[in-house]
Amino acid sequence: MFRSLMVANRGEIAVRVFRTARRMGLRCIAVHSEADAGAMHVAMADEAIAIGPAAAAESYLRIERIIEAARRTGAEAIHPGYGFLSENPAFAEACAAAGIAFVGPGPAAMRAMGGKAAAKALMEKAGVPLVPGYHGAAQDPGLLAAEASRIGYPVLIKASAGGGGRGMRVVADAAAFVEALAGAQREASASFGDAQVLVERYLTRPRHIEVQVLADTHGTTLALSTRDCSIQRRHQKIVEEAPAPFISDAMRTGIEAAAVAAARAVGYVNAGTIEFIAEDDAFFFMEMNTRLQVEHPVTEAVTGLDLVEWQLRIAAGEALPFTTAPAVTGHAVEVRLCAEDPRAGWRPSTGRLSRFVMPDGEGVRVDTGVREGDSVTPHYDSMIAKIIAHGGTRGDAIARLRAALAATRVEGVATNLDALAAILAHAGFAEAAPTTGFIAAHEDVVLAPPPPAPTRALIAAAVAVLVAERDAEGGAGPWCRHDGWRLFGRARRTLTLRAGDRPVTLAIAYGPAAWEITLDGATHNVSAEAGPPMRVRIDDARYVADCSLRDGSVGVTLPGQGSWRIAVEDALTPASGDLAGDDRIASPIPGRVAAVLCVAGDAVTRGQVLVVIEAMKTELRIAAPVDGTVARVDVAAGDQVEEGMELVKLEAATASAPG
């Protein structure tokens, strides 16, 4: 076994690998960009080396810098994590040339499975079923359009060189094909350095089912259960579970056998995943991920294996001690907690994690690479944590995971926490086989705004403000106190809160140990016990309220009822509103301009995409808010932009006067 291990990655996966490596007694070595100098994985390592600027292309994707860092630190092995260089055969070859063990498959297997088109041709020879489509090398747009018509709409355009939903477009008809092809090729080129795509029939009720495989250098190849990863947004997984539910024993046996055949066809070694798309009882090969998957913890939970440990042991030449897969025990479900705003088109969110409280308890696991106080930047993926629950049955696992999400607190960035909770609570997930169209089909529930803040939440927010004022440090003497003390009588004041668009005014009378708070014409006797969480008493009712103050607002969570962000209005601050009118189109997030699709003088219509911003591995398509004419374009492809920076100036069209 190796004595030292470098992880050529960052964030959650680097932390995850280090935990196993440390348990195995290995010296842990991290690499980091300038943006990650204070990151959790750096703090956890025994040694860390800076490898370049924040942009991944100048740091985590620079093979020569990582190899040099390994030489300097004496790393005997490198684990690539997932993403970045994990499926890059040139990186595996560079490790071998430097005498460093690569924890993953050999470069030949990567090349065989790295291109979707070539992989599908190989799988066809191995007898693995394929979705009807075009997987050729010719990329003429006219040819691809003709192939799409031959296959029959709807079709799916997919980047041949990568995954994760990037370079992927669903096309409903021939009229939309050319624009969708251009977008997919542009995104594929930016993400993987290869614009080649393939075109396949788009199944209308598909499920995404995959098989974890583990193979050693001694001839053993095993299928370690199935996983269902059908719940996706922007073609990227956010809920995964093992084993895949609602499939027959015959289908499970068949799909596991196909996965083993696929791995053996390329002489695969180490951990990998064979992904299938399924509809009814039919399944078709989709792709192979020649690396560890984000969702590997659900397989670990039901098999009892540490997949990272076996990756390391296989890379060191050890044989698997079992020739059949371990029996599956119970069920596990994982959600990806991401810094994004689901109600704004799943737009990524950046900022400082002013509060970050993860759940724990029996059967609950959290994998994360951030801590409270860390910043979520636009440079990397939006996932900030994975929350996993394991139970005796699928129902048990879902119930545990719902309780874990209810105990999760994240402030400082927008997250998909509410959407994840809504998915787990939906009968269409709990009681039936979900498809990849689940979110689109249930958008009204998954993306529903929170209910109006109840009286309890409003009073809790007011009490949080009053307690913070009372406990604030000041000068000596009664004149510096903030508890409403008066020489004669009771102090009175009003406090205006805003819950969503609703302004609420509370009249407050201070007492020696409590307050009288009048809201909506009713007066309540209110007191509080310090937390967290705070315990509030309203008249004869006592309840728990988890409150936190930040930037002039109060986050309030009432367990089992919901969470709200309630603003504290300042009479000297003007009412909030849009910072820009319809004529000013600004970037909603820091990022890089991937494409500019207009020039000054263009007549554009409402909804027409004018600029594409790339941030956090996502393309944001910035559209015209109204019909009009482009007066000015302030950016070019490749520019770095900050949040709020103007991209395009638009002259709105004026309605014609009635004749």
Q: Supply the residues annotated as catalytic.
A: 291
Strands (DSSP E) contained in 478-552 are 492-499, 502-510, 515-519, 522-529, 534-538, 541-550
Query: Could you give the C-alpha distances from 161 to 195, 321, 462, in angstroms and in order?
Result: 8, 34, 54
User: What is the Cα 378 distance to its own chain's centre?
Assistant: 13
Nearest residue to 282 via CA among 172, 205, 213, 199:
205
CA distance 79 to 295: 17
CA distance 8 to 465: 45
The residues facing 157 across adjacent strands are: 169, 199
CA distance 376 to 355: 12
* The two structure tokens encoding residue 240: 């995964």
> For residue 394, which phi and psi values (nearest 5 degrees)?
-60, -40
Other Cβ atoms less than 10 A from the Cβ of 70: the count is: 25
CA distance 37 to 41: 9
User: What is the Cα 451 distance to its own chain's centre?
Assistant: 25
SS3 of 124, please?
Answer: helix
* The two structure tokens encoding residue 410: 């994240």
Angle at 30 (CA atoms; ends 76, 349), nearest 5 degrees:
145
**Which conformational region is residue 272 in: left (phi greater than 0), alpha (psi within -120 to 50 degrees), or beta?**
beta
Dihedral, 80, 81, 83, 89 alpha carbons, nearest 10 = 30
User: What is the Cα 95 distance to its own chain's centre?
Assistant: 30
Q: Tell me whether residue 634 is exposed, middle or buried, using C-beta atoms within 10 angstroms of its C-beta: 0 to 12, 13 to 18, 19 or more.
A: middle
Nearest residue to 416 via CA among 393, 439, 390:
439
- Helix H segments across 244-306? 249-265, 296-303
Q: Are 640 and 615 in contact (CB under 8 A)?
A: no
Q: What b/e sequence results for 546-564 when a residue is b if at least 16 CB atoms lie within 10 Å of its CB, and e otherwise? A: bbbbeeebbbbbbeebbbb
**Which conformational region is residue 127 in: left (phi greater than 0), alpha (psi within -120 to 50 degrees), or beta?**
left
What single letter denotes the amino acid at residue 118?
A
Q: What b/e sequence results for 409-424 when a residue is b if at least 16 CB atoms lie within 10 Å of its CB, and e otherwise? A: bbbbbbbbbbbbbbbb
Following DSSP, what letter does each residue of 210-227 receive, concatenated?
EEEEEE-TTS-EEEEEEE
The residues facing 389 across adjacent strands are: 333, 364
Q: Are 409 and 565 in contact (CB under 8 A)?
A: no
* The two structure tokens encoding residue 539: 């008249």
Consecutive H or E run containing 142 = helix 141-151
Nearest residue to 2 via CA among 105, 104, 107, 103:
103
Beta strand 515-519 pairing with 502-510: antiparallel
* The two structure tokens encoding residue 376: 């979520």
